[in-house]
Structure 1
Amino acid sequence: METEQKEKLSILIKRRGTIKGKITRMTNYINNFNKETDDLNEIKARSTDLQKVMEDYENVQSSIEEYATASDREYEEERSSVETKYYSLKSSMERLLDSPISNSSQHSNKNYYMSSPLVKLPQLELPTFHGELKEWPTFKNLFTCAVDRSNIPTLQKFQYLKTALKGEAAGLVSSLLISEENYSKALEILTTRYENKTIIVNHHLKNFINYPTITKSNLKEYLTVLQQSLDSLKALSIPVDTWDVVIIFLITQKLDNSLRAAWEINRKDSSIPTLTELLEFLNLRVTAYELINDRVQEKPQQYFKPTHKVTHLTTSPATTMPNVQCTMCQGQHYLYKCPTFLELTVDKRIEFIKSQMLCYNCLQPFNNKHKCSRKRCYICNGRHHSIIHMENPPRKQ
């Protein structure tokens, strides 16, 4: 029985030593505190912790006195020594917190007070991570700031980490029991898996290389994916700025016929284009498509009110939708109704007509069955289509 009591007493004395060590470290911190550079909020946090430390000391010391055989005087001296340190330390903390802040200290904490919100902001929720490579950097940064760098116990940090992980990511650490040692091991496993530079680079490359054919309906989405991928590669120190020729080739191979034709016509010479030029061209296309859609949606309903003559001509979808194919975009409409063609300047329209060997008047390909319309330009009555009319045509040499 005496052996068991001695073992318990030895454990209690060690625990008391640990508690007294905390008080000593707090005292050293306060003695070395610099009001000009250090943060007063740390003193507030330590002051709250000091009260709990003293309560732990009282409980341990009371337990020691039950097992030990020392005199009452020795116990009194022990308690008096610790209490003196406690009240001296608490007094120093309160004095520092109540002391006026110097001008330089106010300047150093200026950003802190300026950044304090004037309204109560909603509490941020802990982010979740499902194993998506592109989400890892954001999750890691938020988790590090909110949890990993906090003063909460390591076991609690591990519990927060397991709560935040979902799907594949949760499976990687599911076998680890919650302990202080396994917390660092879990972070190491996740970092090794999701900070593999080769995997991340391949992921971002596939995002824009394996994208399906680019049309006017998904062009805006593709430009967003492309920009995100290139920015992520730059963040990994990949020299994408020197890849213009390769990236331009990959993008242009994915453009549909209308976008590809418009891009080739838009080029002013045979020099090698830059990626910036291609992106500017595509972004202008996105803007044009959005403006056209807005105009169609805002057009009043009465503008489409059919007249008696139109009603008479309209018989069935088969007769109102002739089997035609646009030379530029391969859509089911005539070239003179093509939105892509109409966005071009008159000079560019004429260049396209020449390149496709089309009739200047009816805009149809020349072939054995070609029968040109008798209609003329309604502006000058010339033998050409009205949409390629030029006010000051170049003189023939």
Structure 2
Amino acid sequence: MYINNSRLSLVEKLYHLTAKTSGDPKSIVEKSPLTKSGFESAWAALRNRYENNRLLVTNQINILLFLPGIESETSRALKELQSTMQAVLTALALAHSKVCTDNWDSLLVTICASKLPKSTRAFWEASVTDKKEVPPWTEIDSFLTKRYLTLEAMESDPSISKGDLNPPPFKGNQNPQPTRSQCNPFRSQGNPVPKTSHSFHNDINPSKNTCDLCSKDNHPIRLCPHFLHMTVESRSSCIKQKKLCLNCFAKGHQLRECQSTHNCITCGGQHHTLLHRINSVSRESNSTSVLNSTAWPQT
């Protein structure tokens, strides 16, 4: 960013280079005099010391090979896995000898799938259309995005417990009819069957939530397809028009009266995650983070 700035002189570039380095890189830069030729000599010395493509490529590949597995079904963990793999691919393609990863689909998908938690892994396998062919990396990348967005919506709902975020793997359309011994475990142990028994269907009584937006489907507004396809501004206007709480999407109270312990997962503010706006400050911070991540590696 400083090198390509035509408004800066070579002396000014050397000043910024000195200010932006620390440790061993800084000691290398400080050996160059604060003159026009000093910047070029300092920059050449840094490149000669740290541009070890073999080491940099090896480090990126090791990140892939030694990725930790995810144990909990959380949106944050899935986003970290996805962003880590994308960062490695970007680094290999752009920074380190332009390593071609076009034919790495089988490797990337296998590594990524092996790190998924149990339920998410089951949903991924169920989503694969051709079970006999290796899906492309873009397919599992898109799946991860949809999955963590779903978990974000569920995590922000105070009516959903953490245990509900780990449903049993999908096994197709089944309508199990348990036997009398399964409904009454006392029978298999030789004990008398209690007089009060509960049928299998009575134990499962899902509550029906009418959507405040489309009204005809039994789902909360946070899962409404029409609502999810809106822009953030349109969602906010819709929630205000429906007189719902901006934090939990519930009726009967406003934001200042909300007692929910769940806030925006992205920024921690008192609003629903689906209403989070990415302002210019956030984008600038993200750009700064990217620049910092490509700084000289520590030795």
User: How high is the TM-score relative to the length of structure 2?
Assistant: 0.51
Equivalence for 1:225: 84
Distance in 1, Cα, partners of 2:111 & 2:142:
16
1:291-342 per-position Cα deviation (integer Å, ceiling 9, x unaligned): 101222xx5xxx99xxxxxxxxxxxxxxxxxxxxxxxxxx9x6xxx564338
| 2:148 is equivalent to residue 286 of structure 1 | yes
Residue 143 and residue 338 in structure 1: after superposition, are their counterparts in 2 closer, same or farther (change >3 A)? closer
Measured after TM superposition, the shift of residue 262 of structure 1 is: 2.7
Equivalence for 2:94: 235
Gaps of 5+ in 1: 1-141, 305-330, 354-358, 380-384, 388-397
| 2:107 is equivalent to residue 246 of structure 1 | yes
Residue 156 and residue 360 in structure 1: after superposition, are their counterparts in 2 closer, same or farther (change >3 A)? same
Gaps of 5+ in 2: 190-196, 207-299
SS state of the match for residue 240, structure 1? Answer: coil
Judge conservation of contact 1:176–1:186 (CA < 8 Å) in 2: yes
Equivalence for 2:270: none
Larger RCO (CA under 8 A, 6+ residues apart): 2
Measured after TM superposition, the shift of residue 168 of structure 1 is: 3.6
Counterparts in 2 of 1:352-371, with a 5 A limit?
361=178
Counterparts in 2 of 1:44-193, with a 5 A limit?
142-146=1-5, 149-150=6-7, 152=9, 154-193=10-49
Judge conservation of contact 1:219–1:286 (CA < 8 Å) in 2: yes
Measured after TM superposition, the shift of residue 144 of structure 1 is: 0.6
**AA paired with 1:289?**
L
User: How high is the TM-score relative to the length of structure 1?
Assistant: 0.40
Distance in 1, Cα, partners of 2:80 & 2:43:
34
Distance in 1, Cα, partners of 2:101 & 2:12:
42
> When you count helix as a share of all residues, which structure comes out higher?
1
Q: How many residues are paired up? A: 189
SS state of the match for residue 250, structure 1? Answer: helix
Judge conservation of contact 2:69–2:115 (CA < 8 Å) in 1: yes
State the identity %: 20
Judge conservation of contact 2:92–2:99 (CA < 8 Å) in 1: yes
Measured after TM superposition, the shift of residue 180 of structure 1 is: 4.4
Judge conservation of contact 1:341–1:349 (CA < 8 Å) in 2: no
Residue 349 and residue 187 in structure 1: after superposition, are their counterparts in 2 closer, same or farther (change >3 A)? farther
Find the partner of 2:73 among 216, 223, 228. Answer: 216
Residue 285 and residue 156 in structure 1: after superposition, are their counterparts in 2 closer, same or farther (change >3 A)? closer
| 2:263 is equivalent to residue 263 of structure 1 | no
Judge conservation of contact 1:158–1:178 (CA < 8 Å) in 2: yes
Distance in 1, Cα, partners of 2:40 & 2:24:
19
**AA paired with 2:149?**
T
Measured after TM superposition, the shift of residue 150 of structure 1 is: 4.1
Larger Rg: 1
Measured after TM superposition, the shift of residue 225 of structure 1 is: 1.9
**AA paired with 2:135?**
P
Distance in 1, Cα, partners of 2:200 & 2:29:
76
